[in-house]
Amino acid sequence: MSGFFTAAATVCASGVVCALLSAFVTDGSMKRVLCLVMGAFMVCSLIVPFKNALSSVSLEQGEYPSHKELTATADEAVNREVLTQTKENLQNTLTGLLRQNGIAVNETEVVLAQEENNRIIIGSVCIYIGEESADSASEITSLTRRHFGITPVIYTE
């Protein structure tokens, strides 16, 4: 775009210079010669900058990703975001469920997998508890299996 700006500025400057020169020349043969020279100068000042501006514009399609690549990339990004948000929601739900039942956990980790047709499945659930909550392991397993349909792996820290 700067090439076109340069071309327009050159043409305007050339027009101003030619107008000033023609104002100072008296009528006669000198003015005719000057008009001929200024006409050739204006033609050159029009052609050269626009030729340079057009040569700086690249219309190559090869360096840009195709429509299918862009769509696939966008779909993959949305799928990743959905997985991340789903994982976070499940972890928060599990932590809240255990807290409601009086069980304090250090951390919950849900591993998700995505199948064909964008189905999300829970691959595994890991729950990290402290030594004081170790006797609640069977209740944790029961709650997780009932609400999430999977048996958790419980780690005591």
Instruction: Assign a CATH topology to domain 71-156.
Output: GMP Synthetase; Chain A, domain 3 (3.30.300)
Specify the pLDDT at position 3: 63
Which helix (DSSP H) or strand (DSSP E) does residue 145 occupy? Answer: helix 137-148
Q: What is the pLDDT of residues 104-117, one digit of tens each?
A: 899 999 998 888 77
pTM for the structure as a whole: 0.53
Distance CA 119, CA 117 (A): 6
Q: Where are the domains of the chain?
A: 2-56, 71-156
Distances in Å between the alpha carbon of 63 and those of 60, 90, 148?
7, 41, 47
Backbone phi, then psi, for 111, in 5-degree steps?
-105, 120
